[in-house]
Structure 1
């Protein structure tokens, strides 16, 4: 067998192994936002300052990493908390089994466990109930501490649909 044939066989075996095994990607700051956009989600689901992410392309399991925990208020009525690591499963138009993100409803903190994109709306589920919001609310990334308008110290109006209870 010639050296060229052996080299071709080795390259073929390596490419087969590379495409059949799970892929984990850890990238730079912008990549966590790009990963969201690659699955048809707006980057504003994550606050500014994401450090990176990991993604297993075979299972859809992902983790996004922030520089510590993060909290902020949107329109003064939605308080959100992000842990330093957000985990879940991602596929086109669907984030499931989420951990690391919670919202305050009345006096109770509840975990957001699922986000589904339905055309131009995003539906957020906390398990027993859900709420839908126009996707254009999430084109801009909020900033830890002050939300969407940190320059003026005022919170930008958050366009929202009525609360929708899950069936």
Structure 2
């Protein structure tokens, strides 16, 4: 075998190995995608199983295994198994699938926006503000931010 053939064989082998073992680009998590839009990841509860995002239009869908309910401060929230909307830097509009209980009624949250250091959650005619820093961690279904991870402490 000629030296030229050996060199070609080695180059071919190296190229084959490089292509065979290359790791494909992984899609960022939904929480990372939210952060890219300058919103805290905790606007999504733990448990996202998949999502779709059109980076040109901002249209998105987020999928959970089931509905998710929890309380933040005195507000009871419910996320359907699929939520959707349009995301842009610091803002989510046309939100569908997220609701808050007001007195005895469930009202849809239509928009979430970052206003300085606060997150505003709007139901159309009314809104509530929370410190954005409170949403750096994602709430847990069932217990929100007040979970003890199933551990019981005795005194």
Q: Distance in 1 between matches of 2:54 and 2:104?
A: 36
Q: Deviations over 1:3-46 (max 9, x none)?
A: xxxxxxxxxxxxxxxxxxxxxxx94xx61000100000001001
1: CA distance, partners of 2:147 / 2:127: 28
The residue that corresponds to 1:131 in the other structure is 128
Instruction: Give the C-alpha shift of residue 152 in structure 1.
Output: 6.4
Q: Does 1:121 align with 2:118?
A: yes
What number of residue pairs does the alignment pair up? 126
Using the alignment, how far apart are the partners of 1:151 and 1:33 within structure 2?
22
Tell me what 2:146 maps to.
149
Distance 2:55 2:140 in 1: 28
State how far apart, in whole Å, the 2-side matches of 1:36 and 1:81 are.
19
Residue 99 (structure 1) aligns with: 96
Q: TM-score, normalised by structure 1?
A: 0.71
**Moved beyond 2 Å, runs of 4+:** none
Match of 1:59 in 2: 57
Give distance in 1, aligned partners of 2:43 and 2:87: 13
- The answer to whether 1:80 aligns with 2:92 is no
Structure 2 spans left out of the alignment, 5+ residues: 1-25, 151-155
Q: Alignment RMSD, CA only?
A: 1.8
Tell me how far apart the structure 2 counterparts of residues 66 and 152 of structure 1 sit (CA, whole Å). 20
Match of 1:68 in 2: 66
Deviation string, structure 1 residues 88-127 (Cα, Å, up to 9, x no partner):
0000011000000000111111000001101111111101
Instruction: List alignment gaps of at least 5 residues for structure 1.
Output: 1-25, 154-167
